[in-house]
Every structure is written in structure tokens, then in C-alpha cells.
Structure 1
Amino acid sequence: MAAKPVDGVTVVRRERWERALVWVGLPLAGAVLGWLVWALAGWVASLRGLPMRGPFKAIDALPEPAALLGCLAVGVVLGAVFAAVAESEYVTVAVSDDEVVCTRGGDSQTVPRAEVSGVFVDDGRLVLLGHEAQELAVHSAREGADLPPTGRLADAFTAHGYPWLPGGDPYQDRYRRWVPDMPGLPLGADALLRARDRALSSGDKEESAQLRGELGRLGVVVREDGKKRQFWRTTRQSLDPQDR
């Protein structure tokens, strides 16, 4: 279930125990990895012809217990770094009768209730739709976001009267696969899609998210599949009158 409303706001986030598990588990896993590096350092250092033996030879040459303690410390620190990265990707959603506030890391996005025509989660994407079929807010697992459980999000939005769409994207059948220089796109959209294609190929999630926003300002909604192929549709302002 979603968290109980406090002062009229329902906040949905990862449970504390889940976050604590990450903060404990990743440093612990790092320590285990550090121990394995220490335990195998002498054997790896003895393998002639193996590339990148330098670090293992350096560890093997250190006196004990400095070598073991050093490997454990480095592993713990690396685990803590990964835990901090995971923490920054958590999405917290605060839902009230008047607005939705989505927070990820240090960035927040506020969407007034009056602008929302539907909310859904589909294939790792939390989407708030506007009345012109535009996407007001998108948090996607493919762009690094870590969403709260879908059931708790659904409970929170429906409790405050938002139109939750359990079937997913109502405009799914309007998407077309993008290929360079295809007709039908607004001026400038093809260049942005080319740039986003490069960002997806290189794994640049921040650039991909920014270019999604730029496309949205041109009236183009974009999504991608697991193979990083892009699909697009236009907003309602660009649809034929009979489709409105």
C-alpha cells in the first residue's frame, strides 16, 4: 500500500529497509571482492604473460596485514560509492490533490493536477500525460531511474483522484519506428533523434533524458525498446482533426 497521506500529501518511495539493504549489502559485497583480490593476488601475479598484472603484483608485494586491510578498505569504499549512485537514482513521488512532485537525486519536477489527463507505468516508465497527449513527466528505468513499486504508485494516484491507466500508454498504436530522414517529423526533430540515438548507443542517460525534453518541446514523444531503437509519435496538436 502507499504511504498514508500527511498534510494531504501521499509520498511514495523505496522502503527504508530496501535502501538500508543497499547501503549495507554493497559495501559488504565490496569487502568480499577485496578479500578475493587479496587471496588471489599471489597466484595472478605468478601468471606470466597475463596483461595488467601490475596491481596484483603490487598487492602481493605489500606486507601483511596491510595488504589485506587495504584490499578490504578499497572494496568497502567502492561498495559505498555504488550505494550512493543507487541512492541518487531513486525516484520519490509526492502526490496531492493539487500537484505531483517527482524527485530524483537533487532534482524535482512539479506537475499541477489540472494539467494531468492520465498516469501510467509501462515497461519501467512512469509517465504523466497532458491533455494534448504530451508527456508532462517521464521517469524511465532505461534512463537510470529507480521507481517505487507500481502497485503503491497506483494506490497513491487513485487515492487523490488522478486517472490511473492500468493498461499502459493509450497512444501505443501511434508510435512509429524512427529511421534517419523519415517524413512526418517537425522541423529539427530528426537532428535531435540522431543525437539521442548516439546518446543511447553510448549509454549517456543524462543526455538521452535532456534530448527527450527537447523533442517534447517540438511536439514529439519518444521512447525506445530494449535494443535502443527509438519510436516516436506527435502530440495531439499535430494529429488530424478527426483524431482529436
Structure 2
Amino acid sequence: MDDKMLGETSPAVLWFSRGDRLVLIAGAVIIGGLLGFTLPYVASWGASLTWIPFQGPLQLIASWSQWWVRYVCIGVGILLGLALVAAAFYETVRVTVSTAHVRITERGETATISKSRVGTVFVDGKELVLLDGASRQLVRVPSEEKRAAIEAAFEERGYSVATGDPYDDLYRLWVPETPGLAPEVNAVLKAREMALKKKAASDARELRSELDRLGVVVRDKKTSQYWRPLVRS
């Protein structure tokens, strides 16, 4: 039974608003169409300057004199613009907040977290973070929404929201073979450092989960890792 049937607050969706989606789509159509329209002119101008590279493709496009070529270029430009917008929609994390659970959709995959598992919610820079009762990170995902909108969405549905990371002062910069950390934790952090440098996001997420299992919470600043122990409430 959903929230509306129960007469409760309807779910909030933290993603592109309808207005933002319309603006992006309209912008893709207009800009893509204009670029397609001007392509034959630009190609003709570029082909006249021998010092510009890619003379072969430029001369080929400039040689197209049929009346329909410009319309084809406009159509291709619009399609490419819409493809970029679709990619942005696909890549941007969508968070649905209800009084019963939080649903995270990222790159076509959806994870649902029960409200009963969520201890604290806060915004860390441009990331939304959900902690459980043991201060373990259930969720750490980028969000395009403003901090005030995120905090209001969770507060209105009964979640405990902090104004910042309540464990911020516990984090320490990780360096190889950090004293006091178990050898297996240092090994995972070293592997995760390599994943961050290679921008292997999925590997970094899996290794973050392994660190949670080992009793260590990690957050990133570019390729640097900061760690803290779990803190049970």
C-alpha cells in the first residue's frame, strides 16, 4: 500500500524537475538543430583554409550540394543533442524519499533502503549520505539538488537529518600502512586508492562496502581517502 492510500506525505523525488527536463530537451533540440544547420557553412569555410586539419572530411561535407543535405544535418544535430540529454538523465542519480523507504536509482539500477535502517541523513558537499545506527554508510551518492531541498525532503518524512557529518572530526587521512589499522584494512584501502586513480567507480564502491564490513568508514577527496572507525549509537 503506497503513501497516498495511507493518507501520508507523498514521496519526494530528488532529481531533475519537470521544468529542468523540459529546458534540457528544448535546449538540445534548438542547439543541436542550429549546429546541424551551420555545419555545411562551417565545412565550406574550413575547406577554403588549407592550414585547418581534417581537410578530407571538410571538403566532403562542403561538396554536398543537394537540397536535402541541410535538413539531414539538422536532424542529426537534434538527435545527437537528445542523446546527450538522455545520457545525462541516465547518469544522474534519482532519489525517491517516502515515509517507508528511500529508493536510489543510478545507471538503470535501483536499490531500496527501509526507513528503519536509516539512522542519520546529511549532505556532504554535493553528496547525499545515509548512515545506519552503527554510523555505517548505507548511501553516498552525488546529488544535483540544493542542500535545503534535500534536508526538507527527508525531514518532512520523519528522517533524522543532521546539518553536516556528525563524525567529521573522527576522519583521518589514509597513507599506506597506516599504524593502528589492521593489515587487511590497509590492503583494501590500497586497492581502493588504485581504483580511484583509474576512475573505476564500481570497484571503488565495492571496496567501500568491504571496508564497512571490516569496521571502517571511508570518504574521498579527489583521490585521497579519509577513514574513521564505526561508531555505534
Distance 1:125 1:34, change over 3 A: same
Amino acid at match of 1:157: F
Q: Which whole-Å CA distance do the structure 2 matches of 1:218 and 1:10 have between them?
A: 34
Distance 1:27 1:190, change over 3 A: farther
Is the counterpart of residue 102 in structure 1 residue 104 in structure 2? yes
Distance 1:199 1:74, change over 3 A: farther
Q: Contact 2:41–2:62 at 8 Å: present in 1 too?
A: no
Q: Which whole-Å CA distance do the structure 2 matches of 1:193 and 1:52 have between them?
A: 46
Is the counterpart of residue 70 in structure 1 residue 72 in structure 2? yes
TM-score by length of 1: 0.79
Alignment of structure 1 residues 185-196 onto 2, 5 Å: 185-196=181-192
Q: Contact 1:59–1:67 at 8 Å: present in 2 too?
A: no
Q: Which whole-Å CA distance do the structure 2 matches of 1:23 and 1:184 have between them?
A: 52
State the partner residue of 2:231. 236
Q: Contact 1:97–1:113 at 8 Å: present in 2 too?
A: yes
Alignment of structure 1 residues 17-36 onto 2, 5 Å: 17-36=19-38
Aligned-pair CA distance for 1:132: 1.2
Report SS of the residue matched to 2:95.
Answer: strand
Is the counterpart of residue 224 in structure 1 residue 226 in structure 2? no
How many residue pairs were aligned? 227
TM-score by length of 2: 0.82
Range with bigger deviation, 113-122 or 216-225: 216-225
Range with bigger deviation, 34-43 or 188-197: 188-197
State the partner residue of 2:128. 126
Q: Which whole-Å CA distance do the structure 1 matches of 2:58 and 2:26 have between them?
A: 27
Distance 1:172 1:74, change over 3 A: same
Aligned-pair CA distance for 1:49: 4.3
Among candidates 196, 199, 202, match of residue 200 of structure 1: 196
Range with bigger deviation, 41-50 or 107-116: 41-50
Q: Contact 2:11–2:99 at 8 Å: present in 1 too?
A: no
Is the counterpart of residue 214 in structure 1 residue 215 in structure 2? no
Q: Contact 1:127–1:135 at 8 Å: present in 2 too?
A: yes
Report SS of the residue matched to 2:54.
Answer: coil
RMSD: 2.6
Report SS of the residue matched to 2:166.
Answer: coil
State the partner residue of 1:6. 4
Q: Contact 1:12–1:153 at 8 Å: present in 2 too?
A: no
Aligned-pair CA distance for 1:111: 1.8
Identity %: 35
Aligned-pair CA distance for 1:154: 1.6
State the partner residue of 2:159. 162
Distance 1:208 1:47, change over 3 A: farther
Q: Which whole-Å CA distance do the structure 2 matches of 1:102 and 1:178 have between them?
A: 29
Which 5+ residue runs of structure 1 have no aligned equivalent? 141-145, 238-243
Q: Which whole-Å CA distance do the structure 1 matches of 2:206 and 2:23 have between them?
A: 31
Amino acid at match of 2:13: V
Range with bigger deviation, 11-20 or 63-72: 63-72
Aligned-pair CA distance for 1:114: 2.2
Range with bigger deviation, 45-54 or 76-85: 45-54
Map Cα deviations across residues 194-229 of structure 1 (whole Å, 9 max, x no partner).
Answer: 44434433444444434433333333322222x433
Range with bigger deviation, 212-221 or 74-83: 212-221
